[in-house]
Amino acid sequence: SIASADMDLNQLEVFLTAQTKKQGGITPDQAAVIANFWKTHRTKIHESLIDQSRWEKVLKNMNWRVDLKSQSRHIDQINNPVAIVEMELGKKGQ
């Protein structure tokens, strides 16, 4: 719950306090250990969750443009916009 909500320190304190008051919950000592662990490793845990939720390929670069026809045999084909998108995919870290 802590990691999926990416809790800040205030949210963490409220959550752990509630867990200590629940019947069958955690002890205050356990809450202190969890809080210390979260403060120390929050960034690493968050990055790990993001990495696990990504597809295998990631977007490396993207270029786009919109073209308009300025000449054509048929007048209804002039000024029709065409979007051209180029996306470069790759594996993370490469």
Q: How confident is the model at residue 94 (pLDDT cuts 50, 70, 90)?
A: low
Predicted pLDDT of residue 12: 93
Do 25 and 44 fall within a single domain?
yes
Domain assignment present for residue 24? The answer is yes
Give the residue carrying structure tokens 């949210």. Answer: 11
Stated pTM of the model: 0.55
Predicted pLDDT of residue 93: 64
Domain range for 82 is 58-90
Model confidence over 25-75: pLDDT tens digits?
899 999 999 999 999 999 999 888 887 777 677 788 899 999 887 777 777
Domain assignment present for residue 4? The answer is no
